[in-house]
Every structure is written in structure tokens, then in C-alpha cells.
Amino acid sequence: MKAIRAAILSLGLLAGCTAYEAIPGQPQAIGNGLSVVGEPEFNRRTGAIGRRAEFQQWTADGFELNALHLYGGIGEGETLSPVADRDNRRELPVFRANSNLAEAAEFVQASIAKLGGTALIEARDIRPIAFGGRDGFRFEFRITLKDEVERDGIAAGAVASGRLYLIFYHAPRQHYFERRKPAVERIIASARL
């Protein structure tokens, strides 16, 4: 049961032990030139995750209740999960450097579904936006994991120099999604690339 819980916590993107640090309300480097302005209501999980230093996970109320994943670039041949990359498990969709924005959005949605091990995912309002000053995409999604809890999420990103810069957020639909949504929108809007 413990393994199941861990998987539900953060779509299986968490591995190892967890320590947190506060995030100051200043620009935070995520990696490869991506930075966002911190929101003090969020905390950062410390320590390198998988093989990628340029991946961060933030939460306000604990990963079960809201999780923000920030990628300072997913490169050619990499997946959404640094843990899967480390363990060389490649059932996950693999990012292609020549992806357009629709393909990148497709990659993100398919990866989240696969990580969540569920067919119950729906993306909506998939639209172009400026992300970090680049042409980017944004969409919202609703996903039901094996714990039967409905979660809502937002994903936003851009493809630049063959890398997918990405921020995605998810939280239980009841209460927690809306509660931190304004801060998440500010974080996305603050992205610089």
C-alpha cells in the first residue's frame, strides 16, 4: 500500500527521502536559463532528483494536496520523469527536440496519463501563450488516479533550442486546486527564458 501511496502523491515523480526549504519571493533559477519568481507559500523539495539537476518540485500543503513540477528543459530522448530516465524505463513518451507546440502538449498529457497509470485524463483549453517571452502553450487537465480522487491541473511550457521548458501543477479538484491556482498563475507568468 505504501508504494501505491507514494505513486499517487506525485504521479510517481517522487523518489527517495524528502526535505523541504522555503522559497523566497525572488527569481529562482530552474536550469538552462529558465527562472521563475518564487512564491513564499510554496516550499521546495531539496536534493537532486534522478539525474537531472534542472528539475524542481514545489508544494504548498504537501505533495498529496498540491504539486508543482518545474523543468529547466527536457532534452531530446528524455522523458517527463527523471526517475524513469535514471532507471532506464522507457515506456514513457520520449521528447523529440523537433516537436512543435501541439506535439509538446501531447507529450506532456500522454506522459502524465502514463505516469498516473490511468485512462481517465482530459485536457481542455489547449492554447498558445507567451511563456518566458517565447511562443508557448498552456492547457488544463482533469485526471483521476487509482485513489479515485479527481485532480485538476495546469501545464504551461515552451520549446526553445530543442528543449521543452515546462511547469505543471496538479491538486485535488475539491478545494486545493483553486486555493493555490492564483500563485501558480503568477509563477507561470513570471517565467523568464
Partner 1 sequence: MRRIPRRGFLAGALAGCADAATGAMTPVGAGYRPEAGSDEAELWRALDRMEEGTRQSRFLLREPAIVDYVRDVACRLAPEQCGDLRVYVVRTAQFNASMAPNGMMQVWTGLLLRCENEAQLATVIGHEIGHYIERHSLKGMLDRRNKATAGMILSLGLGAAGGGLGSELAQLAGYASMFSFNRDQEREADAVGLGLMERAGYPTIEAAKVWENLIAENKAMPQRERGPGFFATHPAQEERAETLRRQAAQQAGPADARQGEYLARLRPIRRLLLQDELALRQFDRSLIVLGRLAEALPEDAATQHFTGEAYRLRDQPGDADRALGMLGRAARLPDALAETQRSLGMIHLARRDQRAANAAFRRYIELAPAAQDRLLIQSFIREGA
In whole angstroms, the minimum distance from the beta carbon of 176 to partner 1 comes to 18
In whole angstroms, the minimum distance from the beta carbon of 56 to partner 1 comes to 21
> Does residue 16 bind partner 1 (CB under 8 A)?
no
In whole angstroms, the minimum distance from the beta carbon of 25 to partner 1 comes to 31
In the complex with partner 1, the residue whose CB is nearer, 3 or 17, is 3
Task: Determine the number of helices (DSSP H) and then strands (DSSP E) in the chain.
Answer: 4, 10
Residues 21-80 that bind partner 1 (CB under 8 A): none
> Does residue 181 bind partner 1 (CB under 8 A)?
no
> Does residue 84 bind partner 1 (CB under 8 A)?
yes
- Dump the DSSP string for 49-78: BTTBTTEEEEESS-TTT-EEEEEEEE-TT-
- 148 Cβ neighbours under 8 A, 6+ residues apart: none
Residue burial 146-180, b: 16+ Cβ < 10 Å; e: rest: eeeeebbbbbbbbbbeebbbbbbbbbbbeebbebb
Q: How many whole angstroms separate alpha carbon 107 and alpha carbon 126?
A: 13
**Encoded amino acid at 174, one letter:** Q
**Among 10, 12, 158, 183, which residue interacts with partner 1 (rule: CB under 8 A)?**
12
Stretch that binds partner 1, among 30-38, 41-49, 94-102, 178-186 (CB under 8 A): 94-102
Classify strands 67-74 and 34-37 as parallel, antiparallel or unpaired: unpaired
In whole angstroms, the minimum distance from the beta carbon of 70 to partner 1 comes to 21
Interaction site with partner 1 (CB under 8 A): 3-4, 7, 12, 84, 89-93, 96, 98, 100-103, 105, 110, 113-115, 117, 119-121, 123-128, 137, 139, 144, 146-148, 150
